[in-house]
Amino acid sequence: MLTNVRKLAFGSPLPTAEEVHQRLTKVQALAVFSSDALSSVAYATEEILLVLVVAGVAALGLSLPIALAIAGLLAIVATSYYQTIHGYPSGGGAYIVAHDNLGMWPGLTAAAALLIDYVLTVAVSITAGVAAITSAFPALLAFRVGLCLLAVALITWANLRGVRESGTLFAIPTYGFVFIFLALIVVGLARLISGTLSPLPAQTPAVAEGSIQALTVFLILRAFASGCTALTGIEAISNGIPAFQKPEADNAGKTLIAMATLLVGMFLGITFLARSLGVVPVEQETVVSQIGKQVFGYGPFYLALQATTALILVLAANTSFADFPRLSSILARDRYLPRQLANLGDRLVFANGIVALAFLASTLVVIFGGQTHRLIPLYALGVFLAFTLSQAGMVRHWQRESGQGWHWKATLNGLGAVATGVVLLVIVTTKFAHGGWIVVLLIPGFIWIFSAVKHHYVTVAEQLSLEGLRPEEWEGLASQRGHKVVVPVSGMHRGTLAALRFARSLSKDVTALVVDVEPEVTARVREKWPVWGHDVPLVVLESSYRSTIGPLLAYLDEVDRREPESGLAVVVLPEFVPARWWQDLLHNQTARLIKNALIYRRGQEGKDRVIIDVPYHLRR
């Protein structure tokens, strides 16, 4: 039954042999890998304006020079990643590049930064996507947290089923978004030049973080830092090189150039339009929506703009649902994270990583009330840390390889490392007080977890190892007989009889126990025992805290103490199993609680206890 529900929701299990990788053309690859990067133009400009507006509406004019600076940075980073693509044609994620070239700790730092940013990518993209919808339908604004959670749930479901990185599926929303966004810019510019587009009426900004502040260098740098979210996702292509058609590295490089060009054009275009129209950031409507309404008017084009914006942001979140489980499975294989994260599920996806990501992102959405601009101070910090470590690793890589012209290559990556490193410092400094500190604390926290997990696995392997044992020692014990057996009894029924029968087949030393939680039940057991209990003695245990488990464990401990010489203490548990799984919810599952308590408690004097389950199946 449960299996059928599962099949219906997530599809039938796939055999391991079906794990194949589709090769993508450049056009498909651009759609698959660029949604994260391109979608950031939906909110990056707004985040710059939201910082500047604190210094008054006049300060908004600075958005254009800031956007130009970010475009320059983007060019440097893209060039640097172009090199990475050719240096690591098998896929050069920041963790791999930093681990290979700089060592374990820088590798783990990059991994921690990336995991955090994948979670933030989901939260930021989903909240921004929902903002695109609520801008068009303000009545939905009140439900934004619920809508965000619904969107995360849908993406999670799709990923658990296993979405193939299907070029065609991704192409429609991505190219749709690019097309309509470019149309917005072109039509907007044309109408500006022809003088048919008037600026928006003056609005009071709703999201002023206090009264007007002075326009300090710090504030400008903070606006720059907020805008740097435009660069997130630019590394996606270098992670996915093996998915390209041959020659992989060449095609990936060309795709990267196309993506960077589009990104720069769209980002500068929308920022220029926002300035020319005098857009002021407000709470209930996004900047892109304001521009869209003014340029297109409220109609099909405007609605298409909002719809494709929401869709590409969902795709951007979806990218993290591929990246986070993949990186955490690599870390789990290297024993830095729980090994469950490396399990390929029924549908050939890393299901545990997907669920973990969904949970973390949903928590962020609820805590931050579904508001993009409150999440932004936490965002991009991890990405730039990973950028810096990965570029620095590439410098080392070229130096080690010492191939033709390695000096040039190392210099280019070095320039990237220095640029992203400086921006990282700017981001940490300006965002620290607004929430960046959370990420600054989380990164060492993650690294600590990574090393604690590794330590645990190493310790367990040592303890379980057969090294130093002699087979003869174990041989001798096989003849061990005369186990001491106890049977906890919850009432006189057929399940109890089945357990007693099995217990008596094991040993002559059997004792039945009843814990006196409900006096009527105890009395009934006592009354029927002479008939059904055969020769097995019945012991009644008192319970003053209504607990079945406490007195049971106390009794076992006492037996251990009294008879340290006796054999293994074996506990036989009668357990009746309902005919359908959901009926389990209607029973106390005391047997299961006892099992858990017994497994975790080592017996006195280091004796382990064996637990035996005798199921009695109900038929209706």
Q: Which structure tokens are listed for 95?
A: 């963790």
Rule CB under 8 A: say whether 339 interacts with its own copies: yes
Site for its own copies in 172-201 (CB under 8 A): none
Residue 142: CB minimum distance to its own copies, A? 4
| Cα distance between residue 237 and residue 256, in whole Å | 7
CA distances from 70 to 149, 178, 516 (A): 32, 20, 73
Nearer to its own copies (CB atom), residue 153 or residue 422: 153
Nearer to its own copies (CB atom), residue 248 or residue 560: 560
Site for its own copies in 33-52 (CB under 8 A): none
Query: In degrees rounded to 5, what are phi and psi of residue 319?
Result: -55, -45
Rule CB under 8 A: say whether 203 interacts with its own copies: no
Binder of its own copies out of 100, 250, 509, 613 (CB under 8 A):
613
| Cα distance between residue 489 and residue 338, in whole Å | 38
Site for its own copies in 10-29 (CB under 8 A): 13-17
Residue 131: CB minimum distance to its own copies, A? 12
> CB under 8 Å to 167, separation ≥6 — which residues?
22, 24, 25, 27, 28, 29, 31, 32
Distance of CA 245 to the CA centre of its chain: 29
Rule CB under 8 A: say whether 6 interacts with its own copies: no
Binder of its own copies out of 145, 158, 183, 559 (CB under 8 A):
145
Binder of its own copies out of 187, 257, 497, 538 (CB under 8 A):
497
Number of Cβ atoms within 10 Å of the Cβ of 286: 25
Rule CB under 8 A: say whether 604 interacts with its own copies: no
CA distances from 214 to 145, 211, 228, 412 (A): 34, 10, 22, 38
Contact range with its own copies by CB under 8 A, out of 31-39, 143-151, 159-167, 180-188: 143-151
Helices (H), 377-435: 381-401, 406-431
Rule CB under 8 A: say whether 103 interacts with its own copies: no
Binder of its own copies out of 164, 333, 400, 494 (CB under 8 A):
494
Rule CB under 8 A: say whether 617 interacts with its own copies: yes
Binder of its own copies out of 217, 463, 565, 605 (CB under 8 A):
463
Picking from 590, 576, 491, the residue whose alpha carbon sits closest to that of residue 546 is 590
Rule CB under 8 A: say whether 608 interacts with its own copies: yes
| Cα distance between residue 87 and residue 392, in whole Å | 13
From first CA to last CA, the distance across the chain in angstroms is 14
| Beta partners for residue 571, in sequence order | 486, 611
Nearer to its own copies (CB atom), residue 5 or residue 344: 344
Residue 543: CB minimum distance to its own copies, A? 8
Site for its own copies in 431-460 (CB under 8 A): 453, 456-457, 459-460
Site string for its own copies, 288-327 (x = CB under 8 A): ----------------------------------------
Rule CB under 8 A: say whether 137 interacts with its own copies: no
Residue 202: CB minimum distance to its own copies, A? 20
| Cα distance between residue 502 and residue 218, in whole Å | 77
| Cα distance between residue 580 and residue 5, in whole Å | 13
Nearer to its own copies (CB atom), residue 16 or residue 168: 16
| Cα distance between residue 292 and residue 184, in whole Å | 7
Nearer to its own copies (CB atom), residue 157 or residue 529: 529
Largest alpha-carbon pair distance within the chain? 103
Residue 54: CB minimum distance to its own copies, A? 15
Rule CB under 8 A: say whether 501 interacts with its own copies: yes
Contact range with its own copies by CB under 8 A, out of 64-72, 174-182, 423-431, 592-600: 592-600
Nearer to its own copies (CB atom), residue 23 or residue 374: 374
Number of Cβ atoms within 10 Å of the Cβ of 303: 14
Nearer to its own copies (CB atom), residue 202 or residue 477: 477
Binder of its own copies out of 246, 300, 405, 600 (CB under 8 A):
600
Site string for its own copies, 568-587 (x = CB under 8 A): x------xxxx--x-x-xxx
| Cα distance between residue 509 and residue 515, in whole Å | 20
Picking from 42, 300, 285, 39, the residue whose alpha carbon sits closest to that of residue 173 is 39
Nearer to its own copies (CB atom), residue 143 or residue 157: 143
- Are the C-beta atoms of residues 365 and 125 closer than 8 Å to each other? no
Rule CB under 8 A: say whether 90 interacts with its own copies: no
Nearer to its own copies (CB atom), residue 432 or residue 502: 502
| Cα distance between residue 559 and residue 486, in whole Å | 11
DSSP letter at 232 equals T
Nearer to its own copies (CB atom), residue 405 or residue 530: 530
Site for its own copies in 508-567 (CB under 8 A): 528, 531-532, 534, 544-547
Binder of its own copies out of 20, 202, 441, 469 (CB under 8 A):
469
| Cα distance between residue 620 and residue 618, in whole Å | 6
Question: What b-and-e string marks burial along 553-564, b requiring 16 or more CB atoms within 10 Å of the CB?
Answer: bebbeebbeeee
Q: Which structure tokens are listed for 365?
A: 């959405």
Query: In degrees rounded to 5, what are phi and psi of residue 514?
Result: -125, 130
Rule CB under 8 A: say whether 344 interacts with its own copies: yes
Binder of its own copies out of 60, 492, 514, 556 (CB under 8 A):
492
Nearer to its own copies (CB atom), residue 348 or residue 440: 348
Binder of its own copies out of 23, 191, 254, 483 (CB under 8 A):
483
3-state secondary structure of 540: strand
Site for its own copies in 360-389 (CB under 8 A): 366-367, 369, 371, 374
- Are the C-beta atoms of residues 406 and 398 closer than 8 Å to each other? yes
Picking from 555, 527, 528, 529, the residue whose alpha carbon sits closest to that of residue 541 is 555
